[in-house]
Structures are given as C-alpha cells and as structure tokens.
Amino acid sequence: MAALARKILVVDDSKLLRDLMVALLTEDGYEVTAVENGAEALDALAEPRPQPDLILLDLEMPVMGGAEFLQSAATQQRFHGMRVVVVSSSSLDDSTRIRPLARLAKPFTPQALLRVVGEYALPRAG
C-alpha cells in the first residue's frame, strides 16, 4: 500500500488499459491522472499543480508518442529530473535524452504494475 498519496501520470491511448491502471493505482492509494497521448501529457505537466512523482508512459500513441514526448520534455528545464517508466510492448531507441527508469512490457500483471510503481514512485526531495 502506498504510504503517501504519491502522484502518478498515466499516458496511454488505450482507454481500457488507462482505466485499468487508474483503478489499480487508485485502489493502492496513489493519486492518478490519466491522459491519452504525449501532447496531453505535456499540457497536464504545464498546469500549475504539483508534478507527478512518476509518469507511466506508453510509446505507441497517436498525436504524440512516448519517444516524441520525451524528446520534447528534454528541451524544457522544468521537466529535468522527471521519473518515467515506459509501459509498452515497443522499445525506446538510445537517442532519447531523458532515460526511463525502467520498462514494463505489455501485457503485464496487476502485481507487476504495482511492484514497478512502488519501486519508482518516490516522493521528490524538497
């Protein structure tokens, strides 16, 4: 169980998978926001509210995929230090300047999702 209401941003174009991740993570005590693509993630992160402790990022999405999101975020100082776990059946190439902490391959079990989030959703210092 999550000790603090740590914030998670889920970025995935599959409504079914987004809803599943939101349900599992909310039940485990996380505060979850979900969006359908990288462009919406950039918009959500631009809002003046506390930033997520972890981003769960799919790579293959319409409008703006995960790799494009990471490339765009890498150019903006406010995104430096963000914690990202790629949740995808695809792989990320080595040219991305923001490196994910881990990769959770789809399909995954609820236990695997909660284990990865529990390991990497550390509260930010300061």
Residue 2 lies in a domain: no
Residue 126 lies in a domain: no
Tally of domains within the chain? 1
Instruction: Identify which has the larger pLDDT, 89 or 9.
Output: 9
Q: How confident is the model at residue 1 (pLDDT cuts 50, 70, 90)?
A: very low
Q: Name the amino acid, one letter, at 109.
A: T
Residue 20 lies in a domain: yes
Q: Provide the whole-model pTM.
A: 0.87
Angle between helices 38-46 and 66-74 (to 10 degrees): 40
CB 52 within 8 Å of CB 25 = no
> Would you say residue 52 has pLDDT above 70?
yes
CATH of the domain at 92: 3.40.50.2300
pLDDT computed for residue 118 by the predictor: 93
Q: Domain containing 103: what range? A: 7-120
Residue 125 lies in a domain: no
Contacts of 27 (CB under 8 A, 6+ apart): none
Residue 28 lies in a domain: yes
pLDDT computed for residue 97 by the predictor: 59
> Torsions phi, psi of 103, nearest 5?
-130, 130
